[in-house]
Chain A
Amino acid sequence: MNYNIEELKAKHKLLAEYKYELKPTMRGYANRTLYINISTNEIKEKRVTELMKEKFIGGKGFGLKLLWDAVNENTKWNSEENEINIATGPIGGNTNYAGSGKSIVTTISPLTEMPIDSNVGGYFGPYLKFSGFDALEIQGKAKNDIIIYINGDEGIIRIFEAPEEEIDSHVLSEQLVEMFAKTEREKLYISTVTAGRGSENAYIGCLNFSYYDLRKKKPRLKQAGRGGTGTVFRDKKLKALVVKFSKLKGNLNNPADLKKLQEVGLKLHKEILELDDTQNRMRQVGTAHLVEIMDEYDLLPTMNYKFGSHKDAFKIDSSVFKKYFTQNQPDGCWYGCTMACAKAVEHFTLKTGPYKGQEVLVDGPEYETAAGCGSNLGIFNPETILEINFYCDTYGLDTISFGTMTAFIMECWENGILNKERTGGLDFTWGNGDDVLELLHQIGRGEGFGLIAGKGTRKMKDYFEKEWGADRKFMDDIGMEAKGLEYSEYMTKESLAMQGGYGLALKGPQHDEAWLIFMDMVNNQIPTFEDKAEALHYFPMFRTWFSLQGLCKLPWNDVEPANNAETDEPNKVPEHVQNYVDIFNAITGKNIDKEELIIQSERVYNFQRVFNIRMGKGTREHDRIPYRSVGPVTAEEYESRKERYDKQLKEKLGVNSEGKSTDEKVKILREFREKEYEKLMNAAYERRGWNNNGIPTIEHLKKIGMDLPEVIEIVKKHL
């Protein structure tokens, strides 16, 4: 791209400037948050109280608390008072323990119409903290496109109009890094948050958080993908956030016990370096290694989650992408992450769209993208997946939602709900990558069928029913969304616990709360409802903790100590749980144990549940899931796993399948499985301290210390 930085800068118009006192981070906290109202250009600091730290810890806890105070029960995603909040946590930004660089974005989502939280790599959150702020809270809407610049070296914040910079992330992040860094080395000290032109036209917008790659000499992008964060960002006319901080050191959190932090971090570094090559090969291929594993276990979503494997899956597995990945050295999205799972393809020549013919860098693909925009669409061409990956990122669109909603479109096409007349000429036959890319470009341009599709699966169902009289029940069965959010990329049909893992997830069906498929389906370690309910308590609470701390989940169980299998609870990876307790204590100077760790999460988890209730959601009816995620919707699906289903009918229901039509068997199995899911909800609610409608009881809220008056007030209305 040709651009002149000085010409871009000449068009800037300063709207507000704010100077603040630089103060050191103490025991993991900056002890201030930053509030910016872009309607009024008010900038102010808010003190972080001990109560805030005690109840909300940090990260998504802080983000949700600030959001709660900003909105009301009628707030929509595009309301003036909605916010984009970004926070890391007390552990965030340390450079010793792998995976400590995460930022968590919170906002009211256009897809789910309640709070969403999305966890993302890159340097922004930690640089923000060391610049002086545990969280950034942006409220209001600007009149024209603006950039917010936080200079953490000098203690200056500026808001300025920026009319000329590009919107698409791969260009904009490069322009900004060049604009705010005086030297090549200084580029390392800049991190940006940007969206893209797709975010302006779709509800599935994402945010790209950058980190500068010294070796590739380019900003790399990591996505806060879920729930339409980019859509809110662009609705506010935010073009970019930029933070600059150049004084990073391993002791900047001012930890209470630096030595302990270093020791624990070093132990994990060594474990990763010793074991990763024979365990998950995250350093070599990142999460892409999951493609072949999921395919092998019949869990790879294929053709809108109808099937769990495909004969052509080998064409998009990690051995294929490894050949495209260009870095041959560690590639972490935060300093000191030896897991180094970030991967990139350089010099990729685009075949379509506005950047056709250009050589670009593609960040990824991650597993979710390879599965969602590959097998789930019947696409087994790695270069098509890379092209979709690139354009989703630069347009600011979530690859997971894009993949899952396009899979829904393709099945609607297969069943005659869609045709060329309705799609404006696009052909959504399984595997037609060309028209999938054209759909993506339509979203980018804000035209045609892309405008309908970009609103996400739930809105499409409404539209198809209203405009074309499409069969609502069928669409509800096959449209893989719950709470308005598209499913991420795992098949749950044969794992009841994981159906709950997705269905009961607060934000919608994302796997960051629980991933129980192997424990449940493959290893049969949680056979009873009580076992499953316990897993649906412990793991969501444990994993919530990562987003309170500014941590990545991967170093928890994507590498395991050599003796992990011999421990009492290998699924929990006890040694790593202790590591987390140790580093939290080492940084904050507190003295928690693994039980208190869970209670820290429980407070915020229940707060988020009540937040959902406050926004008119968050009850039992919203935890129901499409039948495609529970069992075979169609005869075709049943037949594909006939042996398994016939056996289950016989063993679990005493039904002899002989002489019965497939449709009859589908119906019997469905009644059984749907009842099982209801029973699972009962058991999980009880374990979580919620009533039968999924509402936290006052007694439980008191017990865990989340009985703030405003929380109790909401709950009382619903009990």
Chain B
Amino acid sequence: MLVKYLKTYDDKCIGCGLCMTACSTLYFKEDNPELSAIKVIKQTEEDFKLEVCNQCTVCVAECPTQALTINKGVVYLNKNICIGCYACVAVCPTNTMYTYHLGVEPIKCNSCGVCVKECPADALEIVTEEVSDEL
């Protein structure tokens, strides 16, 4: 299947957090890491880990309202019909379907690429590729 996802390079990440700012500001009009679909996890002072949805599609079948759909390799969440049951959060193999305080619908990356443009360290890239259905 075709997958369009945000590829991350932990070794290049400098931990500036601009990706989280770009993401949360675009979708929530607020600079708040909790509202970002990409998370920068600090390992040491110089070491960072980037966590984000890899568009594997496992969540899609779990959704009782079909709020999750696949379009051109990206899993989209339709917040209007999502009822916030978090079955998708539970089933996500990479733990990148995020919840946030007092939110109802979860947050996920839809490979828009806004963070890529902001990253000063080339640690992010939107990639489109064919992968095995056996994910």
* Interfacial chain B residues near A215, Cβ < 8 Å: 66
Interface string of B78-107 (1 = CB under 8 A from A): 000101111101110000000101101000
Q: Which residue of chain B has the shortest Cβ distance to A247 in the bound complex?
A: B83
B81 nearest in chain A by CB position: A185
Tell me whether A336 and B87 are in contact (CB under 8 A): yes
Q: Are A96 and B86 in contact (CB under 8 A)?
A: yes
Would you call A250 and B85 a contact (CB within 8 A)? Answer: yes
Q: How far is the CA of A270 from the CA of B81 in the complex (A)?
A: 23
> By the criterion CB–CB under 8 Å, are A265 and B86 in contact?
yes
**Complex Cα distance A86/B83, Å?**
24
- Is there a chain A Cβ closer than 8 Å to B61's Cβ? yes
State the CA gap A527–B64 with chains docked (Å).
45
With both chains docked as a complex, state the minimum distance between the C-beta of B124 and any C-beta of chain A, in angstroms: 28
Q: Tell me which of A95, A258, A262 contacts B83 (CB under 8 A).
A: A95
User: Are B85 and A95 in touch, CB under 8 angstroms?
Assistant: yes
Given A249-B104, A250-B104, A269 and B65 touching (CB < 8 A)? Answer: no
Instruction: Out of B64, B89, B101, B102, name the residue touching A330 (CB < 8 Å).
Output: B64
Contact with A along B58-87 (1 / 0, CB 8 A): 000110111000000000000001011111
CB neighbours (8 Å) of B84 from chain A are: 95-96, 249-251, 262
Contacts of B62 in A (CB 8 A): 329-330, 338
> How distant is the Cα of A329 from the Cα of B89 in the complex, in angstroms?
16
CB distance from A197 to the nearest CB of B (A): 32
Docked pose: A332 CA to B90 CA in angstroms: 15
| Contact A269/B87 with A250-B104, A262-B99 known, Cβ cut-off 8 Å | yes
B61 neighbours in A (Cβ, 8 Å): 329-330
Q: For residue B84, give the distance in angstroms from its CB to the closest CB of chain A.
A: 3
Contact of A597 with B by CB under 8 A:
no
Using Cβ atoms and an 8 Å threshold, which residues of chain A touch B89? 266, 269
Nearest chain A CB to B49 CB, angstrom units = 21
Which residue of chain A lies nearest to B66 when distances are taken between CB atoms in the complex? A214
A269 touches B90 (CB 8 A): yes
Which of chain B's residues have a CB closer than 8 A to the CB of A248? 83
Complex: how many Å from CA A290 to CA B91?
Answer: 26
Chain B residues closer than 8 Å to A332, beta-carbon distance: 64
A335 at the interface (CB under 8 A from B): yes
Complex formed: what's the CA distance from A258 to B104 in Å? 9
Q: Given the known A-B contacts A188-B65, A273-B90, A330-B62, are A266 and B83 also in contact in the complex, defined by CB atoms under 8 Å?
A: no
Q: Which of A334-392 contact B (CB under 8 A)?
A: 335-336, 338
Residues of A near B101 (CB, < 8 A) are: 259
Tell me if B83 and A335 are in contact (CB < 8 A). Answer: yes
Please tell me if the beta carbons of B81 and A262 are within 8 angstroms of each other in the complex: no
Interface residues of A in 89-120 (CB under 8 A from B): 95-96
Shortest A670–chain B CB gap in Å is 52
CB contacts (< 8 Å) of A336 on chain B: these are: 64, 83, 85-87
Interface size on B, residues (CB 8 A): 18
Interface mask (A27-40 → B, CB under 8 Å = 1, otherwise 0): 00000000000000
**Interface readout for A252-287 with B: 1 if CB under 8 Å, 0 if not?**
000000110010011001101100000000000000
Q: How far is the CA of A332 from the CA of B53 in the complex (A)?
A: 25
Q: Which residues of A are found within 8 Å of B66, using beta-carbon distances?
A: 214-215
Which B residues are in CB contact (< 8 Å) with A214? 65-66
Nearest-CB distance from B51 to chain A (Å)?
A: 17
Looking at chain B's contact residues, is the secondary structure mostly helix, strand, loop, or mixed? loop
Select which of B64, B81, B85, B102 is within 8 A of A96 by beta carbon: B85
Interface size on A, residues (CB 8 A): 25
A185 to chain B: closest residue by CB: B81
Cβ-defined contact, A270 with B85, below 8 A: no
The residues of B that contact A272 with a CB separation of less than 8 Å are 90
Which residues of B lie under 8 Å from residue A250 when comparing CB positions?
83-86, 104
Q: Which of B65, B66, B101 has the most CB of A within 10 A?
A: B65
Q: How far does the alpha carbon of A330 sit from the alpha carbon of B84 in the complex, in Å?
A: 16
Contacts of B99 in A (CB 8 A): 262, 266
Contacts of A262 in B (CB 8 A): 84, 86, 99
By beta carbon, the residue of chain B nearest A259 is B101
> Given the complex of chains A and B, what is the CA–CA distance between A152 and B67 in angstroms?
22
Q: How far is the CB of B107 from chain A (nearest CB, A)?
A: 13
Quick one: CB contact mask for A168-197 with B, threshold 8 Å, 1 for yes?
000000000000000001001000000000
Name the residue of chain B whose CB is nearest to the CB of A213: B64
Question: Which residue from chain A places its CB closest to the CB of B89 in the assembled complex?
Answer: A266
- Which residues in A have their C-beta under 8 angstroms from that of B87? 269, 330, 336, 338
Q: Closest B-chain residue to A270, C-beta based? A: B90
A73 to B91, CA, bound (A): 52
Taking CB atoms and an 8 Å cut-off, the chain A residues in 231-254 that contact chain B are 248-251
* A335 in contact with B90 (CB, 8 Å): no
Residues of chain A in range 306-353 having any CB-CB distance to chain B below 8 Å: 329-330, 332, 335-336, 338
Bound Cα distance from A336 to B104, whole angstroms: 13
CA distance A266 to B86 in the complex (A): 7
For B90, list chain A residues within 8 Å (CB). 266, 269-270, 272-273, 338
Complex CA distance for A329 and B87, rounded to whole angstroms: 13
Chain A residues whose CB sits within 8 angstroms of the CB of B64 once the complex forms: 330, 332, 335-336
Listed residue (B61, B64, B81) with the most chain A CB atoms within 10 angstroms of its CB: B64
Which residue on B lies nearest to A329, using beta carbons?
A: B61
Q: How far apart sit A380 and B65, CA to CA, in the bound complex (Å)?
A: 37
State the CA gap A249–B101 with chains docked (Å): 16
* Cβ of A48 to closest chain B Cβ, rounded Å: 25
Most interface-central of B81, B85, B90 (chain A CB within 10 A): B85
A189-220 interface (Cβ within 8 A of B): 214-215
Q: How far is the CA of A188 from the CA of B81 in the complex (A)?
A: 11
Complex Cα–Cα for A542 and B89 (A):
30
Residue in A188, A269, A329 whose beta carbon sits within 8 Å of that of B86 in the complex:
A269
CA distance A269 to B99 in the complex (A): 14
Compute how far the CA of A445 lies from the CA of B102 in the bound complex, rounded to whole angstroms. Answer: 55
- A707–chain B nearest beta-carbon distance, Å: 41
Cβ of B83: which chain A residues have Cβ within 8 Å of it?
95, 248-250, 335-336
Q: Which residues of B contact A95 (CB under 8 A)?
A: 83-85
In the complex, what distance in Å separates the CA atom of A270 from the CA atom of B85? Answer: 12
Q: How far is the CB of B69 from chain A (nearest CB, A)?
A: 12
> In whole angstroms, how far apart are the Cα atoms of A330 and B62 in the complex?
6
Distance in angstroms from B68 CB to nearest chain A CB is 12
Q: Add 17 more A-B contacts to A188-B65, A265-B86, A266-B89 (CB < 8 A).
A: A95-B83, A96-B85, A215-B66, A250-B83, A250-B84, A250-B104, A251-B104, A259-B102, A266-B86, A266-B99, A269-B87, A270-B90, A330-B64, A330-B87, A336-B64, A336-B85, A338-B62
Q: Which residues of A contact B (CB under 8 A)?
A: 95-96, 185, 188, 214-215, 248-251, 258-259, 262, 265-266, 269-270, 272-273, 329-330, 332, 335-336, 338
**11 A–B contacts from the bound complex (CB under 8 Å):** A250-B85, A251-B84, A262-B99, A265-B86, A266-B86, A266-B89, A266-B99, A269-B89, A273-B90, A329-B61, A336-B86
A-B CB proximity, top 5 nearest? A250-B84, A336-B85, A269-B90, A95-B85, A329-B61
